[in-house]
Amino acid sequence: MDTAIQEKVSNWLNGNYDQATKDAITQMQKEKPDELADAFYRNLEFGTGGLRGIMGVGTNRMNKYTVGMATQGFANYLRKTYGNEEVKVAIAHDSRNNSRFFAETTANVFAANGMKVFLFDSLRPTPELSFAIRKLGCRAGVVCTASHNPKEYNGYKAYWNDGGQLVPPHDSNVIKEVEAITDVNAVKWDGGAANIIILGKDMDDAYMDMVKSLSVYPDVIAKQHDLKIVYTPIHGSGIKLVPETLKRFGFTNVHIVEEQATPDGNFPTVGYPNPEESETMSIGLNKAKELDADILLGTDPDADRVGIGVKNHKGEWVLMNGNQTAVLAFTYMMEARREKGIAQPNDMVITTIVTTEMINRVAEKNEVACYNVLTGFKWIAEKIKELEGQKNYVIGGEESFGLMIGNQIRDKDAVSAVALMCEMAAYEKNHGKTLFDKMIELYIKYGFYYENLISITKKGMNGQKEIADMMEGYRKNPPAAIAGSKVITLLDYQLQQGRNLVSGESWKIELPKSNVLQFITEDGSKISARPSGTEPKIKFYFSVNTKLEKKEDFDAKFSELEKKIQDIIADMKLK
């Protein structure tokens, strides 16, 4: 074993760590030396979003000590920022194994640092944490979750005083403070119990009242209250608030997928608790078919992502993709608000650079300002803050099954998304249509946009370098044409430069630096390349479009767009 790893192991065996941890290390030395090396070969990185990793003993794992040291670093930054002012922090967690323990560990460290801590009494959806930070006037917040990752993982998401995740300069400043904590003895572990206040029903009620206020057509729900809804929390925190929120909206015919109703960090019915995956939603789909339901909805373990199933134009159950879900939600919030007479002249919506261009077209036709930001809801939150007092924020979202509706939270929210999607389904049913019918109508009205993505992992020690070389190659020698269509625009968000490859004209991109490249072709296709900052992985996003004249042409046009994406993938040699 590498001497640096041996030194770290020795420090844990001889340091101020509990006996159970030391016993686990001793056992791994005897039985699983490779696993031990992996657990100690590096420190679990505190990135711009916080921590995420496999649970277990070691510096490269999620455990009491890595969580405690991260919290001490975060607390030090808060104290440097706010001096002797009162610092309030809100803390929540989801259903994952050890999430409650990590949340309590986090609460104890903040409290021991003299901070007033609001800790939820049990699991809660992540968006309620964002709401609570704003409601209580907190300086920061933490939710213990690994979102939709496999059961072996847990994580620690850090939030700032606006209820959004950390953005510059706070993200890099917190990272520096966390990296400065190199010894568990630097952590204040206890002594502040009196500073911890437990949150419960009152905050739930305030949050659900806020979500209820987002309803545009409660009168339509009253007519369609028996809309047949199937909902699965996928063993996560959505069960705490989603059924009650639907009840408060006025829906009376909600069926919970019982096999997935109980919060359980082992996620026994799925391999991967992600509502984007058809396998994860299969039990719900079967129940929806069995009941002949109107709509199926699923939320991930921390209830910030939503998956949606509907019957298509042939009566077959299908899962909507994240771009389709976003288009439906954005369009409803723009069209319905205008129809109801509550739209404001300064309304705005926000999407991201890898989300469907169709949202921009819908906003343009509805004369609503639409802003495009970098990937991640923290950038949507930052844009709201930047335009506060000038623009009225209505909705934001991105292709990764996330929506943020209304001005009182700053992170994606599947609880409000489920409720609004059901309202939309009720609205369409009241007009004799389904959400899929509405989707086709939108394609006819605004253009038929279709998106897909692939993720490529480059394994081994050279994985990150291979991806870096790939991006550098695209930068220096962008393709002249892709799948037979000339590339006319190159957008380089790392260099913050846009370039017309035909005329040579260039312009500055007014967004923070990000290692993303986009190619836009003559036929309106958009291909985005975006490497992961932490893994040897790169994602390619594809968006293609065509005209759809009438509903009867949908299948043929859909096949045409699917083929176009496959041609792009083949031409770029991505498979």
CATH number of the domain encompassing residue 193: 3.40.120.10
Measure the CA–CA gap between 469 and 463, rounded to whole angstroms. Answer: 10
pLDDT given at position 18: 96
* C-alpha torsion sign, points 420, 421, 422, 425: positive
Mean pLDDT of 510-515: 94
Rounded to whole angstroms, the Cα distance separating 544 from 485 reads: 12
Provide the mean pLDDT of the chain. 96
Residue 33 lies in a domain: yes
Beta strand segments in 411-536, E: 448-457, 481-482, 485-492, 497-500, 506-508, 517-521, 526-531
Q: What is the mean pLDDT of residues 145-160?
A: 94
Q: What is the pLDDT of residue 459?
A: 75
Q: Which range marks the domain in which residue 137 is found?
A: 42-205
Question: Domain check: are 459 and 440 in the same one?
Answer: no
525 is catalytic: no
Residues 432 and 507 in one domain: no
Looking at residue 263, the DSSP 8-state letter turns out to be: -
Residue 417: the pLDDT is 98
Distance CA 120, CA 572 (A): 49
Are 357 and 316 members of one domain? Answer: yes
Residue 164 has pLDDT above 80, yes or no: yes
Do 73 and 23 lie in one domain? The reply is no
Boundary (domain end) residue, out of 412, 446, 480: 446
Residues 251-279 have a mean pLDDT of 96
Whether residues 143 and 258 fall in one domain = no
Residue 422 placed within a domain: yes
185, 297: one domain: no
Looking at per-residue pLDDT, the higher value among 457 and 246 belongs to 246
Interval 21-71: pLDDT, tens? 999 999 999 999 999 999 999 999 898 889 999 999 999 999 999 999 999
Same structural domain, 470 and 431: no
Burial class (CB in 10 A: 0-12, 13-18, 19+), 356: buried
Categorize the per-residue pLDDT at 379 as very low, low, confident or very high, splitting at 50, 70 and 90.
very high
Cα(484)–Cα(501) distance, integer angstroms: 16
Identified catalytic residue from 95, 99, 130, 147: 147
CA pair distance 267, 96, nearest whole angstrom: 9
Asked if 431 and 455 sit in the same domain, the reply is: no
Does the residue 215 lie in any domain? no
Kindly state the average pLDDT of the residues 205-220. 98
pLDDT of 1 > 90? The answer is no
pLDDT at 492: 97
Residue 500 within a domain: yes
In a domain, 218, yes or no: no
Contact 407, 161 (CB under 8 A): no
**pLDDT one-digit tens code per residue, 316-338:** 999 999 999 999 999 999 999 99
Do residues 26 and 74 both lie within one domain? Answer: no
Report, as an integer, the average pLDDT of 201-214.
98
pLDDT exceeds 90 at position 575: no
Same domain? 262 vs 401 = yes
pLDDT for the residue numbered 48: 83
Q: Which residues pair with 506 in a beta bridge?
A: 499
The phi and psi torsions of 306 (rounded to 5 degrees) equal -130, 135
Residue 460's pLDDT is what?
Answer: 64
User: Quick one: pLDDT at residue 415?
Assistant: 98
- Residue 231 included in any domain: yes
- pLDDT for 126 equals 98
Query: Is residue 210 assigned to a domain?
Result: no
The position carrying tokens 């979750």 is 145
Q: Exposure pattern of 82-120 as b/e (b: 16+ CB <10 Å)?
A: eeeeebbbbbbbbbbbbbbebbbbbbbbbbbbebbbbbb
pLDDT band at 194, cuts 50/70/90? very high
Q: What is the CATH number of the domain that holds 504?
A: 3.30.310
Higher pLDDT, 509 or 461: 509
Domain count, the chain: 4
In a domain, 546, yes or no: yes
- The pLDDT assigned to 461 comes to 62
Tell me which H or E stretch contains 142.
strand 140-144
Task: Assess whether 452 and 440 both reside in one domain.
Answer: no
pLDDT on residue 464? 81
Sign of CA dihedral 258, 262, 267, 268: negative
Q: pLDDT tens-digit profile of 553-572?
A: 999 999 999 999 999 999 99
Domain end, chosen from 412, 427, 446, is at: 446
**Rounded average pLDDT over 221-246:** 98
Same domain, residue pair 336 and 277: yes
Average pLDDT over residues 414-419: 98
Stretch 215-223: mean pLDDT, rounded? 97
Rounded average pLDDT over 201-220: 98
Question: For residue 536, what pLDDT band results from cuts at 50, 70 and 90?
Answer: confident
